[in-house]
């Protein structure tokens, strides 16, 4: 082997081991979740958790179905609000705003993305909840949760979307513009195809963040274990379930809370797999 090939091989080894480490991390966390939830899973079986029923772990009832619905509906609501807003903001930054203004806006987004979720939750509880309460009590509801979560994931979404629009090669954009297309046309014909994987990635990341959000959701969603029938119904998410009850949970109850985590990971796995099917392969 020539020295350069050898160092190339070594280099690849370093890169590959860092990638393996990153992947291993997930497996470690999953293994941890499985280990902690094993006692109650062995005793009650998986079916006790996913069939409809009540959640009152101290009386031996462990159904997580309602909370799963809660998690999914809050996340869906948040994405429904945040995705168009985020993409449009990114678009505005790139094509309509004067560059100076755009850079200010981006700085603002960066700051917003770093505000602790506690602060968003706090703000939601004292400002948004009373507002929604006036329309329809109790105020802490699916709608409130979706709004505040949307505001939370919006900065990350907009910044990632912006990064992937910026990264579209300028030749393509200029070429399309030279054909006499307007911004809409340029976006559709040149930017969208090139930026799509990145945009999908941004939405996916926002989904993950929304699904996994804990501290804000506890304060604004009402935390009632029920399948929501209207957007004004309070709901409890799987993460809120863990955070609310972990502090006082013992034995099977504690173990059952880890099953909530495992179930959440499972949902995310499904969503991620679906997304990677839909997402076009990187060229």
Partner 1 sequence: MRTRLLTPFTLLLFLILPHLSLAVESSPLSGKLVITGSSTVAPLVLEVGKRFEKAHPGVRVDVQTGGSSRGVADVRQNLADIGMVSRALNPDEQELKAFPIALDGISIILHKNNPLVSLSEEQIVGIYRGQIKNWKDVGGKDGPITVVNKAEGRSTLELFEKYFKIKNSEIKSQVIIGDNEQGIKTIAGNPGSIGYVSIGTAEFAAGNGVPIKLLPLQGISATVEEVKAGKYPLSRPLNLVTKDNSKALARSFLDFAQSAGVEDLVKEQYFVTFSKK
Partner 2 sequence: MLRRTSSLQESLLRSSSWAAAAFVFGIFILIIGSMLWHGAGLLSWEFLTSEPLQSGRRGGIAPILVSTILILLVCMVTAVPLGLGTALLLSEYSSSKPSFGNFVRWCLDLLAGIPSIVFGLFGNAFFCKVLGLGFSILSGGLTLACMVLPILIRALEEGLRAIPQDYRRAAASLGLPRHATLWSILLPAAVPALMVGLILGLGRAIAETAALIFTSGYVDRMPESLMDSGRSLSVHIYDLSMNVSGGDKSAYASSLVLVALLFIINISASMLADRHLKSRLDLL
Contact residues for partner 1, defined by CB under 8 A: 54, 56-59, 125-126, 129-130, 133, 137-140, 218-219, 222-224, 234, 236, 243-250, 253-254
180's contact among partner 2, partner 1, none, with CB below 5 to 8 A by partner kind, is: partner 2
Half-sphere exposure of 88 (CA within 13 A, CB side): 5
Binding mask 89-108 for partner 2 (x = CB under 8 A): x-xxx-xxx-------x-xx
Q: Tell me the closest approach of the beta carbon of residue 185 to partner 2, in angstroms.
A: 8
Instruction: Kindly identify the residues of this chain, within the stretch 143-182, that bind partner 2 according to CB under 8 A.
Output: 151, 154-156, 158-160, 163-164, 166-169, 177, 180-182
Q: Where are the alpha helices (DSSP H) in the chain?
A: 3-44, 47-50, 65-91, 99-113, 117-123, 129-135, 142-166, 170-178, 183-186, 192-212, 215-220, 238-245, 251-278
Q: Tell me the closest approach of the beta carbon of residue 230 to partner 2, in angstroms.
A: 25
User: Given phi > 0 = left and psi -120 to 50 = alpha, else beta, which region is 169?
Assistant: beta
Helices 192-212, 65-91: inter-axial angle, 10-degree rounding: 140
Q: Tell me the closest approach of the beta carbon of residue 254 to partner 1, in angstroms.
A: 7
Q: Tell me the closest approach of the beta carbon of residue 223 to partner 1, in angstroms.
A: 4
Q: How far apart are CA 152 and CA 113, in angstroms?
A: 7
Which of 17, 80, 193, 196 lies at the binding interface for partner 2 (CB under 8 A)? 17
């Amino acid at each position: 082997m020539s020295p350069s090939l050898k160092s190339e091989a070594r280099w690849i080894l370093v890169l590959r081991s860092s990638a393996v480490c990153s992947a291993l991390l997930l497996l470690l966390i999953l293994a941890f979740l499985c280990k902690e939830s094993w006692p109650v899973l062995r005793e009650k079986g998986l079916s006790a958790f996913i069939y409809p029923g009540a959640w009152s772990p101290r009386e031996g009832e462990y159904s997580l179905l309602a909370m799963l619905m809660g998690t999914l509906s809050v996340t869906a609501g948040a994405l429904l609000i945040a995705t168009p807003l985020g993409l449009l903001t990114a678009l505005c930054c790139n094509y309509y705003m004067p560059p100076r203004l755009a850079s200010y806006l981006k700085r603002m987004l960066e700051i917003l993305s770093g505000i602790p979720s506690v602060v968003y939750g706090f703000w939601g509880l004292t400002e948004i909840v009373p507002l929604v309460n006036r329309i329809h009590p109790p105020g802490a509801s699916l709608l409130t949760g979706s709004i505040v979560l949307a505001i939370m994931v919006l900065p990350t979404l907009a910044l990632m979307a912006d990064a992937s629009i910026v990264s579209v090669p300028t030749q393509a954009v200029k070429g399309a513009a030279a054909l006499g297309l307007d911004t809409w046309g340029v976006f559709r014909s040149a930017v969208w195809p090139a930026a799509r994987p990145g945009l999908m990635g941004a939405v996916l990341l926002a989904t993950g963040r929304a699904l996994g959000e804990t501290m804000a959701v506890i304060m604004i969603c009402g935390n009632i274990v029920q399948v929501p029938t209207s957007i004004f119904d309070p709901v409890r998410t799987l993460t809120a379930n863990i955070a609310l009850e972990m502090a006082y949970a013992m034995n099977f109850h504690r173990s059952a809370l880890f099953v909530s985590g495992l179930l959440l990971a499972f949902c995310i796995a499904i969503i991620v797999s679906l997304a990677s099917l839909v997402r076009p392969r990187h060229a």
